[in-house]
Structure 1
Amino acid sequence: MCASLLASLPFDPAPAQPRPDIGVAGAFLSSRVAVTHSDFEEMAASHDRLLQTDPDNPGFRELSMQGHLLAGNFERAVERAAEITASGSASNVANLLMQADAFNRSVYDVAIAAIEDGAQTGPLTDPMARAWAELGRGSMSDALAAFDVVIAEREELAPFALYFKALALAFVGDLERAETLLTGEAEGPIGLSRRGVVAHISILSQLGRMDDALQLTDAMFGAAPDQDVAELRAALREGRAIPFETITSARDGMAETYFTLAAALPVERGDWLPLIYARLALALRPDHAEAILFTGQLLERAEQYSLANAVYDRMPADNPQYLAAQLGKANALARSGDVERAIESLRALSRDRPDSVLVHSALGDQLRREEEFEQAEAAYAHALDLLESVEERHWVLLYTRAITLERLGEWERAEPEFRRVLEFVPDEPQVLNYLGYSLIDKGMKLDEALGMIERAVEAEPDSGYIVDSLGWAYYRLGRYDEAVPVMERAVELMPTDPILNDHLGDVYWAVGREREARFQWRRALSFAPHPDLDVDLVRRKIEQGKTPPDAMTDAQ
């Protein structure tokens, strides 16, 4: 289904070539770099400059439009889309923008006229736009007919159309029919997203079926849900109905369509289509919390951190998803290189939300990455103290705290914590690898440690770090011939990692392949720096070689 949707909206991000008589080399170069790096603000600005000298160039106009949309400048993007459609150029993205603009202005006749004139946007967005526009015009019967066309004729799109039909019925007050559609009992199965489940809970509560609503909440979200669901549950237990706010207008319905498509499409580097749909959803419904979070995450993936932060800042402070947005903003700050601001924002958030496990855990993660291990351990300890009971879903928190204790040199405290994690997730390869490698490195419980690493490799055979652990374990155990192919495989998986290249050099030296060893050590230096690489030691090995360690015996 996703592939067909992708195929329905082709667009070529390669900028059109300028005419050779136009002196726009600088702007053209900037535009190419911007497109390649998904720098949407520069993409819009550079193509705007190019259009000043070549105003009829369709490629420049298309990429100016897309840049403005992806950067969040909906109004400017609509202006470009209007120019494109007026020129007679074919552009699915321009058609989408004009469609969204019609809904944004509540001119539903315009949206329907565009469809009838052949301004196609996609196999789902066109019929859904007709349905929502008919609803906006007050004709529920025509809206239902439009939904039913897709349900009857497009099997792969029917679950989407059924979901939107249920939302439309709930919006007009036909809660009983909406509820039966959402269960999948009336017209076919619907794979509800998290947002769809919340809508179903709301509808059940509006029907007075509080027990059913609570049962669905517990079944789908467990005993310790996120804050927004926790608030829903508290209201249900008090007997308060949850207002149905998934859509409150035809415009909201179209926003929901765009957001659902954005979330359904695969997210791949260089593919802007999910972000295009997410931006359209936010243009129509700026308070769409899930769209805010998803758009921010997509912008982070594109390494557009300032744009991501601007989106996260749109989350209202009283929204239950506010905390998630602030954590996303801190993550974007850190990934942009502004680690100090990221840590300070998390500290401020921890003061504002002192009882939040998520906040203290996120602060610990950031401090650990900066090797501030004592402060990280304190943050993790605080997070764990806030828990009434430690359960399997908390294993990552336990694991990161155990890593921090190990890095602090407190192995007596760290080892029991690693083993506690394995009680919850006995086959988790990252935990098996870390504990096994640490035990090998300390010469402790060698048979058990090697078995852990072998299990980790079996689970993730293409992880360079884990394969390296196995090769290094063989090396430390004096099994040099066995270490060679394993370590070579690790470097093949991660050819530019300095630690793995250094390890391969040690293994080669141990089996007498001295020239190859020095080559690998030089490669390790070429990929430096690395926090765990002793550059001076590597240089000494290149000059003097290295005496392999004696094979370890169990120091247990």
Structure 2
Amino acid sequence: MDSAAPRRYALVYLSSPSKGAVMDRKAKRTLGWVLAAALALPLAPPVQAAPDGVAGAYLAGRAASLNSDYRDAARYYARALMRDRANPALMESAAIAFLALGDQASAYPIALKLAEGYPTNQIANLILAADVLGPDGSLDMDVPSVGPVGDLLVAGWRALDRGRPAEALAAFDEMIDDPRTRAFGIYHKAMALAQVGDFEGADALFLEDGSIAASLSGRAIIAHAQVLAQLDRADEARTLIETRIGADDPRGAAILDALDAGTLVFDVVPDPAAGYAETFFTVAIALNGQAADAFTLLYARLAQILAPEHIDALLLTASLLEDLEQFDLANQVYDKVPRDSPAFLTAEIGRANVLREAGKADAAIEVLTQLVETHGDVARVHAALADTHRRMENFAEAAEAYDAAIAIAEAQGQDDWVLYYARGIAHERIGDWDEAEVDLRRALELNPGQPMVLNYLGYSFVEMGENMDEALAMIEEAVAARPDNGYITDSLGWVLYRMERYEEAVPLMERAVALEPLDPIINDHLGDVYYAVNRKREAEFQWKRALSFDPEEEDAERIRRKLQVGLDAVLIEEGADPIHVATD
């Protein structure tokens, strides 16, 4: 089998967030759009001409910022500010870098000076607001504006902090009356009602439109369960957790244990100070995936600064840093999650991921191996270890770890198609095709029409020259489901090529290259198809393009040989029949 083919379709990850942490996509799109519009950063003040000795530090800081390298950015901007203390662009850039690092102490004096000259600067106001709302702030101090949505949320919690619950509820009601901010109002009003002991009122809000509130964060589901427990409705709380979070999720298991012990209290947002942190956290959740990660990170950091024990803010911050490829910073944040937290498992899996991404694969394996020893009854742990082995191309070890994950999942009555798909890939890669086919077909039984599985199984048949009609049907179905996926489109062109339907393959291969122009295998395939329709000069051009994209050495050698002697000669050397060249 073509060694490159399965590699391109094996992109599946099992260490995903729990059900309760995933926002409803429709709600997320709506909320994200509203918040991106309401809270979008204004353009930075124009960069002033840098005096001698500043330009180098500024440019270095800017380059670091563009790469999300916040440590270097903070260092270079701070150096530039030493020579040009009044430059607003430098101040804002430095403040952003320090805030992205979670360094409020360094960001605050810069923000204070920036606000003196630019009192509406949002970055400065966010940092100053966090200082006012933090433990060193005072209820007598004015809170700088943090945007239309944030201002209303802060006003509500500020009023509750001052012992004015009616005023607080009025602020949240104002948000509920606006369809664009309804979810925020429901969620935060319910938290406020629960804080003052009105659990019936909080429950009524969740029942009225709980799905909208829960769309902001899985924390809303947990909060509702805690509210139900205070109302002596433990059975309803149990059902809510089992259906929305899952008994196999460590958070869900911890809540169910507390319900059994009769010790479940309301502590998601226990006081107004936590409400301030929750304001920034819910904004970050709504922006996540809708605004730039670097922007969302600022709100997550503010939540973390105001509530260092806010586990979900820690996890979100670490995830954003991981997406920004700041692996050392992400590792540091994951490491802040206490070992006794129900989220420790998620944090350790995240830490293993960032270690692997940082090129420390052995350390990642060590973290996950230790996790297997302490949490060996959790399928997700074995799946994470298997994923890491598979990404390192340790396919035998991956298959063994997937065996353990599947055994645990089956014992719990859970059949996950992704586990079978991933184990099928591992079996195929170690040459155990019979087991691979069983797993891939099982994945299709559990998730009929799944395009990744259809493509992988169909493409594998094509490479083996078996079940060609079934392979064609599978890949056609996959293309219908994912018409803009270049790899799947390539598979359809390739099966037609292997069935000697060369003219039909040409437009599909051309579209595949248009969709994935830098992929060496797809360019190589287009070259073969061009050769088959007697467009040999174009074939040579595509083979040369394929070589320029750094294919695996085995593939590169074959491409170079085709350029030397032609595809027919290569096929004969490999013991295959030459191409039956199509002619006009």
Q: What's the TM-score once normalised by structure 1's chain length? A: 0.92
Shift in alpha-carbon separation, 1:166–1:421, aligned structure 2, 3 A:
same
Residue 76 (structure 1) shift: 1.4
Residue 390 (structure 1) shift: 7.4
Q: Is residue 2:254 matched to residue 1:231?
A: yes
Select which of 92, 108, 119 maps to 1:62: 92
8 Å contact kept, 2:32–2:290: no
Match in the other structure for 1:166 = 190
Select which of 158, 163, 166 maps to 1:138: 163
Q: Is residue 2:102 matched to residue 1:80?
A: no
Select which of 281, 285, 306 maps to 1:259: 281
Match in the other structure for 1:5 = 35
Aligned mates of 2:484, 2:578 — CA distance in 1: 27
Select which of 33, 43, 61 maps to 1:31: 61
Residue 267 (structure 1) shift: 2.3
Amino acid at match of 1:149: E
Aligned mates of 2:43, 2:521 — CA distance in 1: 38
Match in the other structure for 2:8 = none
Unaligned 5+ segments in structure 1 are none
Match in the other structure for 1:416 = 438
Match in the other structure for 2:565 = 544
Partner of 2:232, secondary structure, is coil
Q: Is residue 2:451 matched to residue 1:429?
A: yes
Question: What pairs with 1:149-228 in structure 2 (closer than 5 Å)?
Answer: 149-152=174-177, 154-184=178-208, 190-192=213-215, 193-222=217-246, 224-228=247-251
- 1:528-548 Cα offsets, whole Å, 9 max, x none, are 1437x5211111100100126
Question: What pairs with 1:39-54 in structure 2 (closer than 5 Å)?
Answer: 39-54=69-84
Aligned mates of 1:511, 1:388 — CA distance in 2: 50
8 Å contact kept, 1:210–1:239: no
Aligned mates of 1:15, 1:440 — CA distance in 2: 58
8 Å contact kept, 1:465–1:490: yes
- 1:100-156 Cα offsets, whole Å, 9 max, x none, are 111212634245x23xxxx3211121122122112112222222232233334x331
Shift in alpha-carbon separation, 1:390–1:351, aligned structure 2, 3 A:
closer
Match in the other structure for 1:394 = 416
Partner of 2:95, secondary structure, is helix
Aligned mates of 2:72, 2:494 — CA distance in 1: 46
8 Å contact kept, 2:34–2:180: no
Match in the other structure for 1:101 = 131
Residue 159 (structure 1) shift: 2.2
Select which of 525, 545, 548 maps to 1:503: 525
Match in the other structure for 2:394 = 372
Question: What pairs with 1:316-331 in structure 2 (closer than 5 Å)?
Answer: 316-331=338-353
Amino acid at match of 1:229: G
Amino acid at match of 1:490: A
8 Å contact kept, 1:392–1:424: no
- 1:451-495 Cα offsets, whole Å, 9 max, x none, are 000000110011111111111111111111111111111111111
Residue 362 (structure 1) shift: 1.0
- 1:477-523 Cα offsets, whole Å, 9 max, x none, are 11111111111111111111111111111111111111111111111
Identity %: 43
Shift in alpha-carbon separation, 1:444–1:14, aligned structure 2, 3 A:
farther
Aligned mates of 2:486, 2:45 — CA distance in 1: 37
Residue 355 (structure 1) shift: 2.2
Shift in alpha-carbon separation, 1:446–1:185, aligned structure 2, 3 A:
closer
Amino acid at match of 2:83: T
Partner of 1:98, secondary structure, is helix
Aligned mates of 1:243, 1:401 — CA distance in 2: 41
8 Å contact kept, 1:92–1:121: yes
Shift in alpha-carbon separation, 1:132–1:94, aligned structure 2, 3 A:
same
Residue 266 (structure 1) shift: 4.4
8 Å contact kept, 2:33–2:290: no
Aligned mates of 1:85, 1:110 — CA distance in 2: 19
Partner of 1:109, secondary structure, is coil
Name the count of aligned residue pairs: 542
8 Å contact kept, 1:40–1:68: yes
Amino acid at match of 2:251: D
Mean Cα displacement is larger for which, 455-464 or 377-386?
377-386
Partner of 1:438, secondary structure, is helix
Match in the other structure for 2:483 = 461
Amino acid at match of 2:255: L
8 Å contact kept, 1:433–1:469: yes
Unaligned 5+ segments in structure 2 are 1-30, 580-584
| CA-atom RMSD in angstroms | 2.2
Partner of 1:386, secondary structure, is helix
- 1:252-277 Cα offsets, whole Å, 9 max, x none, are 00111111110011425745321111
- 1:35-59 Cα offsets, whole Å, 9 max, x none, are 2112122221111111011000011
Aligned mates of 1:336, 1:268 — CA distance in 2: 26
Q: Is residue 2:316 matched to residue 1:286?
A: no
Match in the other structure for 2:11 = none
Partner of 1:505, secondary structure, is helix
Amino acid at match of 2:33: A
8 Å contact kept, 2:159–2:167: yes
Aligned mates of 1:106, 1:172 — CA distance in 2: 24
Residue 160 (structure 1) shift: 0.7
Partner of 1:286, secondary structure, is coil
Aligned mates of 1:20, 1:519 — CA distance in 2: 48
Residue 551 (structure 1) shift: 9.5
Aligned mates of 1:510, 1:438 — CA distance in 2: 22
